[in-house]
Structures are given as structure tokens and as C-alpha cells.
């Protein structure tokens, strides 16, 4: 049977024509040539890779994550609403009625000054007022109305005499025209009218003088009463000022006087405030101020409290920048106020550090700061693709101390060069070494 099969194969082979045998040989040669060419290309690329001059670079991946942009500064804790209490009169402190840390109410006495002399001044002022009032009353009863009434009666009588003389003159003029009265009698009546007119004017002047004198005298006495009243009010006020009281509810934060101390007007006695309402006064550079807005969250830490974190928010940003000279030259700063939120262990006077959160982005594309190349009109990064450099223009967003958000130009997972050299042009072969952000 095997011999039959062999014979058949031999017979088939012998039956093939020379033309068919040549065609099959060419196909074999073509296939062999293709494999040979592929082998040569692979070998050539491997040779090139082994021979190229690769520049070593450190790289990192583009990752997705959360980023918080922050502005850092420092400041001092103060009480939001506090009152500085000053002495308004001079004297010696008799008693200090509170101690530092006490809670006080509005109007509660804080310090009592010695007030014996002030009390005597009040009694003296009261006596002066009583005397002035008595003088005024006597003047009104004794001289005022009587003198004026007497002068007024004389004026009334003079007016009546003048009117009677005028009437007689008018009647006798008629009689003179009728020839009954002589010219001498008429002239005598004319002189009488003139005399009565002079008497009336004198009485009127006397009345005005009497009234003016009385009124002037009364006005002077009334002024003395008013002056005495003012002196009494001042004495009572000074006596009241000897007891220094709180003008608002709160805690005594500071006491600057002690028993037996002499104080003058304007001397700071105490500071009262509510430590449940704290603020931080701080300053920003003009560059940082452009990123900060009212209402932004602030993280607050203090060395005195082992860096325990408290929270606040930006309450005020000064509308005006301030130029300040220092050893490093002139600096422009912007004052801000941060309201401390909730109950805290912070105390007025603490120095604190502030982290102002100016922006938050979730699932952002992030690259290290060291990957950015700032050009005059754009920002670049160098991307490593299959071992070669490719320049990319990117737009950036938020940033923190180590990373920057990339808005356009990159995709998650791509590899970027850190601290790239100036000579890394497109197509430069590199040997990448991964680097992690600390």
C-alpha cells in the first residue's frame, strides 16, 4: 500500500509541467525576500536605537486629582468689638473694682477715683446756684415791676395832657377865626401844646430807660443763674467721671492702673471686649491681593497652639494699597481682616499663620511646577512620546506649592519632562527617569 502511494506521488510530480515548476519557485523567492526585508528593517532600527545619543531627563506623569490654590500670609489676633476705656479727669485711683479676665456689663464700675474734693465742688456749685436764684427773685420783686409801672403811669398822664392841649388849641382856632379869641390867647395855647409835647417825649424816654435798666439788670442776674447751673452740671459730671465704668459688655482684657496711682485725662485705664468674636489683621502683597476675595475660607494656625487648625473667612479687603519702606526697598501691601469662626483657643495678641483658599478644582489635570516653560506669550511643556521630545503649548489654571492645573494641551497619563534643558528640541531622543513629587 505504501508503495502505491509513493508511486502515485512520483507520478503526480512527473506529470507537472516545467512552467508550473517555475511559477512556484518565484513565489517562494518573493516570500523569502519579504521576510528578509522585514528582518533588515528590524535590525536597522535596533542598530539605530543602540547607536543614538539619548539625553537623560527626569519625567513625571500627568495625573488627575484635587487642587487647592492658596495664598499664605501671617497676622495678629484682635478682638472684633473692643472698647478702650480712658480716664476723663485727673486724680488718684482709690479702688480697682475688677481684675483682668472678669466679665463686665454695660455701665459696671471698673475703677473708683478719690472724689472728696469733687463732692465738695458739687456742694459749692449747688450753693452758688441757690444764691444766684435768690438774687434774681429779689430783683424781680423789689425794683423791676414798680419802677416800670411808675414810668408807664407818668407816660400815660403826659399823653393825656398832650391830647387835652391839642383839643383846646383846635377849639380856640375856630373861635379865633370867629373873632372871639385874641391872637395872644391862641399863641399861648400853641405854646402849651408844645410844652405838653415835650413833657410827653420826656416821659416816654423815661419809661424806655426804666424798662431797659430793669431788663438789663434782670438779664445780668439770669445770666448768673445760668452760669451757676452750668458750673453745677460740670461739677456733677466730674464727680460721675471719678467712677470709671464699662461702655460695653465683655471681658476685661487689659488693666493699666493700680490703687494709689495718679492718672491724668486721656490715660488708658482698661480694655474691654468679647473674646468670642475674634479677628485677624493681616497684610497681602499686591500680587496675592488680586487672588483674594471676601468670603473665601481661611485656615488659621498658631505656633502657640501646636499648629492646631482653626477656620475663618475673609471679612474685609482694604480698597486702598499702602506703600511701606523696608530694608529691602519699598513694598506695596493691602491690609485685610479675617473673621475667626466658632469657639477657638485663640487669644487676642496671638501671632498666627493664614492659608487663604482662593480656588478648588476636582478631577483636574495636574503637572509639577517644574514641568512648565514660560515663554513671552505662552506656556509650554515637553512631552515624551516613544522616547522623543515633543513641545506642547498649554493653558494653566489653579496652582499650589508643587503642582499646576492644566486646562488645555495635555491628557491624563502623558509623560512630561521636569526642569527641561534649553536644548531639548522637538524630536530629541531622551532616556526618561521617573521622578515623584515629594
Provide the b/e sequence for 56-93 (b: ≥16 CB within 10 Å): ebebbebeeeebebbbebebebbbbebbebebbbebeb
**Which positions of the chain have pLDDT values less than 50?**
1-15, 47, 50-51, 438
Q: Which CATH class is domain 55-67+361-434?
A: mainly beta
* Cα(251)–Cα(271) distance, integer angstroms: 8
The residue among 247, 257, 316, 233 whose CA lies nearest residue 282 is 316
* Integer Cα distance of 47 and 200 in angstroms: 145
Q: CA 39: distance to chain centroid?
A: 77
Q: What is the CA radius of gyration of the chain?
A: 55
Q: What is the pTM of this model?
A: 0.56
Alpha carbon distance, N-terminus to C-terminus of the chain = 81
Q: Evaluate whether 417 touches 389 at the Cβ level (below 8 Å).
A: yes
Assign domain 273-360 to its CATH architecture.
Beta Barrel (2.40)
Question: Tell me: the pLDDT tens digits for 83-142?
Answer: 999 998 888 999 999 999 899 999 999 999 988 888 898 999 999 999 988 888 877 776
The pair phi, psi for residue 70, each rounded to 5°, is -135, 150
Residue-level pLDDT at 152: 77
Q: How far apart are CA 134 and CA 259, in angstroms?
A: 43
How far from the centroid of its chain's Cα atoms is residue 352's Cα?
19
pLDDT of amino acid 12: 47
Nearest to 334 by CA among 347, 352, 350, 316: 316
Within 8 A by CB and 6+ apart from 166, the residues are 193, 196
pLDDT of the residue at 2: 41
Question: If DSSP codes are grouped into helix, strand and coil, which group holds residue 403?
Answer: strand
CATH architecture of 115-241: Orthogonal Bundle (1.10)
Domain boundaries, the chain: 2-51, 55-67+361-434, 83-113+244-272, 115-241, 273-360
Q: Under CATH, which architecture does the 83-113+244-272 domain have?
A: Beta Barrel (2.40)
Cell of 292: 483674594
- At residue 153, the pLDDT reads 83
Give the per-residue pLDDT at 24.
Answer: 65
Question: Which DSSP string corresponds to 64-75?
Answer: EEEEEEEEEEEE
The C-alpha atoms of residue 211 and residue 147 are separated, in whole angstroms, by 8
In the prediction, which pLDDT does 222 show?
Answer: 84
Phi-psi domain of 437 (left: phi exceeds 0; alpha: psi -120 through 50; beta: other): beta
Q: How far is CA 342 from CA 76, 276, 311, 350, in A?
A: 17, 8, 8, 17
The 3-state DSSP class for residue 369 equals helix
Q: Please give the distance of CA 425 from its chain centroid, rounded to a whole number.
A: 51
- Distance from C-alpha of 68 to C-alpha of 87, rounded to nearest angstrom: 50
DSSP 269-319: EEEEE-TTSEEEEEEEEHHHHTT--TT-EEEEE-GGGTT--EEEEEEEE-S
Residue whose C-alpha cell reads 459749692 in the numeric block: 124
Q: What is the pLDDT of residue 17?
A: 54
Amino acid at each position: 500500500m505504501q508503495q502505491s502511494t509513493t508511486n502515485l506521488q512520483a507520478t503526480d510530480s512527473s506529470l507537472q509541467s516545467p512552467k508550473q515548476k517555475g511559477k512556484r519557485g518565484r513565489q517562494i523567492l518573493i516570500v523569502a525576500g519579504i521576510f528578509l526585508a522585514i528582518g533588515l528593517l528590524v535590525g536597522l532600527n535596533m542598530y539605530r536605537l543602540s547607536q543614538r545619543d539619548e539625553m537623560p531627563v527626569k519625567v513625571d506623569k500627568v495625573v488627575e486629582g484635587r487642587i487647592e490654590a492658596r495664598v499664605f500670609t501671617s497676622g495678629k489676633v484682635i478682638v472684633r468689638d473692643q472698647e478702650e476705656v480712658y480716664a476723663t479727669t485727673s486724680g488718684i485711683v482709690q479702688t480697682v473694682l475688677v481684675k483682668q479676665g472678669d466679665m463686665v456689663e454695660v455701665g459696671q464700675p471698673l475703677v473708683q477715683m478719690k472724689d472728696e474734693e469733687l463732692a465738695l465742688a458739687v456742694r459749692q456749685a449747688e450753693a452758688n446756684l441757690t444764691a444766684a436764684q435768690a438774687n434774681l427773685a429779689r430783683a424781680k420783686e423789689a425794683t423791676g415791676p414798680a419802677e416800670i409801672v411808675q414810668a408807664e403811669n407818668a407816660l400815660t398822664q403826659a399823653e393825656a395832657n398832650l391830647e387835652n392841649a391839642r383839643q383846646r388849641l383846635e377849639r380856640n382856632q375856630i373861635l379865633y377865626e370867629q373873632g372871639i379869641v385874641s391872637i395872644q390867647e391862641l399863641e399861648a395855647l400853641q405854646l402849651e401844646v408844645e410844652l405838653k409835647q415835650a413833657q410827653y417825649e420826656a416821659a416816654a424816654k423815661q419809661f424806655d430807660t426804666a424798662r431797659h435798666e430793669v431788663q438789663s439788670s434782670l438779664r445780668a442776674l439770669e445770666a448768673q443763674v445760668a452760669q451757676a447751673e452750668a458750673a453745677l452740671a460740670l461739677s456733677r459730671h466730674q464727680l460721675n467721671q471719678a467712677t470709671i465704668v464699662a461702655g460695653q459688655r465683655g471681658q476685661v482684657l487689659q488693666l493699666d492702673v493700680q490703687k494709689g496711682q495718679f492718672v491724668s485725662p486721656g490715660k488708658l485705664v482698661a480694655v474691654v471686649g468679647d473674646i468670642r468674636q475674634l479677628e485677624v489683621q493681616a497684610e497681602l502683597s499686591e500680587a496675592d491681593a488680586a487672588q483674594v476675595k471676601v468670603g473665601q475660607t481661611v485656615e488659621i494656625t498658631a505656633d502657640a497652639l501646636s499648629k492646631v487648625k482653626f477656620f475663618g473667612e475673609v471679612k474685609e479687603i482694604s480698597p486702598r494699597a499702602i506703600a511701606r519702606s523696608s530694608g529691602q526697598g519699598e513694598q506695596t501691601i493691602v491690609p485685610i481682616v479675617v473673621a475667626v469662626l466658632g469657639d477657638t483657643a485663640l487669644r487676642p495678641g496671638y501671632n498666627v499663620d493664614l492659608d487663604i483658599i482662593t480656588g478648588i478644582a476636582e478631577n483636574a489635570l495636574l503637572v509639577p511646577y517644574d514641568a512648565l516653560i514660560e515663554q513671552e506669550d505662552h506656556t509650554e511643556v515637553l512631552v515624551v512620546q516613544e522616547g522623543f521630545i515633543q513641545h506642547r503649548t498649554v493653558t494653566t489654571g489653579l496652582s499650589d506649592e508643587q503642582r499646576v492645573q492644566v486646562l488645555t494641551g495635555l491628557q491624563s497619563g502623558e509623560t512630561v519632562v521636569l526642569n527641561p534643558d534649553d536644548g531639548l528640541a522637538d524630536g530629541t531622543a531622551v532616556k526618561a527617569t521617573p521622578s515623584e513629587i515629594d
